A and B are shown apart, each in its own frame.
Chain A
Amino acid sequence: MLTSLLLSAALAASGTSAPADGTSWTIHADKVYTSTGKVHESALIVVDGGKIRAITPGVEAPRDVLKAAVVTAGMIDASARLNTGTSSVEQSSEVTPLVSAEFGVDVFSPGWGRLARAGVTSAFITPLNQNCIGGAGTVVKTAGDRSVKARTVEGAPMICGAIGSQPSQRNSSAFGRPTSFFNRRPTTRMGVEWEWRKSLFEAAQAKEPDAAQKVLLDALAGKVGVFVQAWATQDIRTAVFLKEEMAREGFGEMRLVIDAGAEAWREPAMLVRTNTAVVLPPVPAQGRTTDGSLMSVECARVLRDNGITFALSGHGASRLDLQAGLAMRGGITREQALRAVTLTPAQLLGVDGRVGSVEAGKDADLILWNGEPFEATTRPVGVLVGGHLALDPR
């Protein structure tokens, strides 16, 4: 009874005769992986007004619906690094907590379409890594109406930065050279760490904190997440120790997410101890990544075995579905790989109320696959972003 009701609702809402706004569809899939551990066989998904309205398993495919072998939630790239080139890095200071990546987003960049067609429906955009504390990141849909406002997904506030060699790259001391912009701190890894600690201490001890320090105080209190790029294990250590030091000082418990944690596999115990989540960078060609770190293929497997929360990322240059496949090569299951590119990043970024799984009421961010996801022999043949067809499966 219920099924037939839903079905008729589906057919009413459906079809290839697309409604005026183009955000209402009916999709039939042999299998739906929901990202929450469920698999619906032979299911009908009704999308209406950009939202998932209903999922009905065990239904024959009606005519005139979008068809797929497998449907999953759209992927979320927690470190998409698609923005606006090097000019998106504010270099007037090495600590710029008030800067927001939101204002550097160019929705007309062809990179968005590229991501969307590859199945990435939301991306976390951060000020890049040339600053110690770069500023706020933002979650942006990869397709839909061409305005930043329409595409932004309100999530947990995040302050983004970097520990390692990047923030000090190109900087040099003023000695013996004509003065230039790059005559500035920090010039070493030590200097980067010192800038972080100094900023946090100054914020915590300020009698009258300024606007930037208030952001850092929120970060120290765990109200604003701290998203730190740290490739090598020495930099992950620095981030973790900083968090522990701040806690010992009584400044608060930071909510730490390590971005590009290529060497997170080396010392998982320290991540477990501090309840730190990790966003993994793309698997490199021959193990070596930035900052001289070695990313093992089994990195995701090690994190899973230790119960560490992890997401995968593509850094804009690499297909995220391939990264999920390579994580499977390293020993995790398809279900775990799916979670690491959908629900987990949604939870890390605080957008899981809207995206990250195939459930009624969530945004219709869906991938239609022509086979089992993340195999090299399959690909997204259809992609919906908020009900908009970013890639037409027909």
Chain B
Amino acid sequence: MKSSLSQPLLALGATLLVASSATAAPQVDKTAVKAGTVITLTGESIPDGVIVIEGGRVTAVGAASEVQIPWDATVIDQPEMVAFPGFVEAHAARGIDRANETLDVAPFLDVKDSIDPVNFYFEEALRQGILTINVQQGNNTVIAGQGMVVKPFGMTVEQMMVKPRSGVKISAAPKGGKSRATQAQVLRGAFDELRLYLEDMVQRKKDGDDYDRREALYQGREVEGEAAKGKPLACSGWSVDGFERVPRGEVDEKREPLLRIVEGKLQVIMWCASPMDVHAALRVSEANGFTGNMTLALAPACWKASAKIKESGCSVILAGLEDEELDPITGESIETFVPKVFHDAGIPFALMSTADANRSLWYQAARCVANGIPRDDALAAVTTTPATILGLGDRVGKLAKGTDGHVVLFSGDPLDITSVVEHVILDGAHVYDRSKDVRVKQLFDGTRPPGTASDTSGEEEWPGDGDDPEDDDETENKG
């Protein structure tokens, strides 16, 4: 019964958005997008611009008079529209099956195994012009699994993948049921445990015990070639004497992500719910040498720790624009526009969209403009800055030769309240066309998607609704 219901719905979900499926359509090698304005985010906007995409990469951006469009390119010509590189979501615990893990410390997990390609979130992201998303586990954790950067299109996780192992979510704020002290203790303990484990490995090697090698073979891990080599520990926080004797392939895969973190090879996204969490976060990152590969994800109240954050050199991801606190004595509310604090302090900041579709990334950037942040800096916070945080600064968030072939065509300026996403070109393929988006049609004018239940395109007739001449007779009888 359940499957007979869900199958047509799934099929509907898959067909709703797709103008030309990347899998079904023949490979589009060359695409040229002509637009009334091209916002490149690398400098001035280009009036009457052209973007040429070949093999999924941008090969030319410039004025129509200067750029040669290949003769065999598919041309998308929209002189009324504005071309934009697409927004970058620095951090989203969405599109996955259950955002939070019950285990306290689980860096060996990977959201790859829980991303749901047909989740409504990805469809909505495409509709909002968000073309790069760092999917991470939720904030209710101590050390969560590894995230993955994806694009919101594709029928499998592999098709969606932009960058695997994009970082580990760690929370300095207490997980449900823990106090801040317990949280800090478990967090410190995880790294202490790593160090003890590595020291034990060295001791076992000295003792001639090949337990770790046998365990690695038992788990089916690679222990030959590169994996058979040992290297000194490259952690600025602490050291383990003799660790170069341990072949790297023998390190338990459950601990290996933490080892990568302390060696600066794996990014950390550290969640802080209050200013005091920022201090706790920096204490543990400094002790374990990963401040340099850490980005802070901050609740609005954390603006109070901005001086400390500036000192640390970390970039930030802002979950929420406004902080309000009530003066404990007068009861007056004190409001702070958070991005302005970070902007004025010169701290690189990325914005996050909320679950409300009316407050997606474009809206977050627009509110920054409304509150006095220059437009270029506001746009950077939803494009180039998050791209840099994700290590994709040369690939997404701007339009230039060599970037991924992503273009969003807006009906007007991306920050205008009346602008909507009309088309999306992803890796050179035309994946979204608003005129064929039946869900957006229903949202705007109420028309039900064809084929769904109780299509009300025909007028319903109700006796006694006053619409018909007979109704009058009927009411007379009733009185």
Contacts and interface: CB of A to CB of B under 8 A. Distances in A.
Contacts of B475: 245, 248
A379 B371 CA distance: 7
A249 B355 CA distance: 49
Contacts of B375: 377
Interface of B: 124, 324, 326, 331-333, 335, 355-358, 362-363, 366-367, 369-371, 375, 415-418, 420, 442-446, 456, 464-467, 475, 479
A328 B375 CA distance: 22
A114 B443 CA distance: 30
Contacts of B357: 285-286
Contact of B332 (A113, A241, A266, A285): A113
A232 to B, nearest CB: 13
A210 to B, nearest CB: 26
Contacts of B356: 285
A265 B456 CA distance: 13
A297 interface: yes
A376 B363 contact: yes
A33 interface: no
Closest 7 CB pairs of A and B: A376-B366, A325-B417, A377-B369, A296-B446, A379-B370, A285-B356, A377-B366
A377 B366 CA distance: 5
12 contacts: A237-B465, A266-B446, A266-B456, A283-B358, A286-B443, A287-B442, A294-B446, A297-B443, A298-B444, A371-B370, A376-B367, A377-B366
Nearest to A323: B358
Contacts of A328: 417-418
A376 B415 contact: yes
B417 A376 contact: yes
A117 interface: yes
Most central of B362, B465, B467 by chain A CB within 10 Å: B465
B327 to A, nearest CB: 10
Contact of B370 (A294, A330, A377): A377
A58 to B, nearest CB: 28
Contacts of A237: 465
Interface string A234-273: 0001000100110011000000000000000110011001
A108 B417 contact: no
B459 to A, nearest CB: 9
A110 B418 contact: no
Contacts of A248: 475, 479
A326 interface: yes
A82 to B, nearest CB: 14
Given A113-B332, A248-B475, A376-B370, A296 B443 contact: yes
Contacts of B456: 266
Contacts of A322: 358
A96 to B, nearest CB: 29
A375 interface: yes
Given A248-B475, A248-B479, A378 B370 contact: yes
A347 B464 CA distance: 32
A291 B123 CA distance: 25
A374 B370 CA distance: 11
Most central of A296, A326, A376 by chain B CB within 10 Å: A376
Nearest to B440: A297
A170 interface: no
Contact of A244 (B366, B418, B466): B466
A370 B370 contact: yes
A198 interface: no
Nearest to B368: A377
B370 A329 contact: no
Contacts of A286: 124, 357, 443
Contacts of A296: 442-446
Nearest to B462: A237
Nearest to B356: A285
B326 A110 contact: yes
A368 to B, nearest CB: 13
A329 B326 contact: no
A330 B418 CA distance: 8
A297 B363 contact: no
B401 to A, nearest CB: 30
A265 B446 contact: yes
Contacts of B465: 237, 241, 270
B246 to A, nearest CB: 52
B416 to A, nearest CB: 7
Contact of A374 (B324, B358, B417, B464): B417
A95 B363 CA distance: 43
Contacts of A371: 370
A392 B159 CA distance: 52
Nearest to A330: B444
Contact of A375 (B326, B371, B416, B467): B416
A287 B124 CA distance: 13
A374 B456 CA distance: 33
Contacts of B420: 329
Interface in A303-337: 322, 325-326, 328-330
Interface string A278-300: 00000101110000001011100
Contacts of B358: 283, 285, 322, 326
Interface in A359-394: 370-371, 374-379
Given A110-B332, A117-B335, A374-B417, 20 more contacts: A108-B331, A110-B333, A241-B466, A245-B475, A249-B479, A265-B446, A270-B466, A285-B357, A286-B357, A287-B443, A298-B446, A325-B417, A326-B417, A329-B417, A370-B370, A371-B370, A376-B362, A376-B415, A377-B366, A377-B415
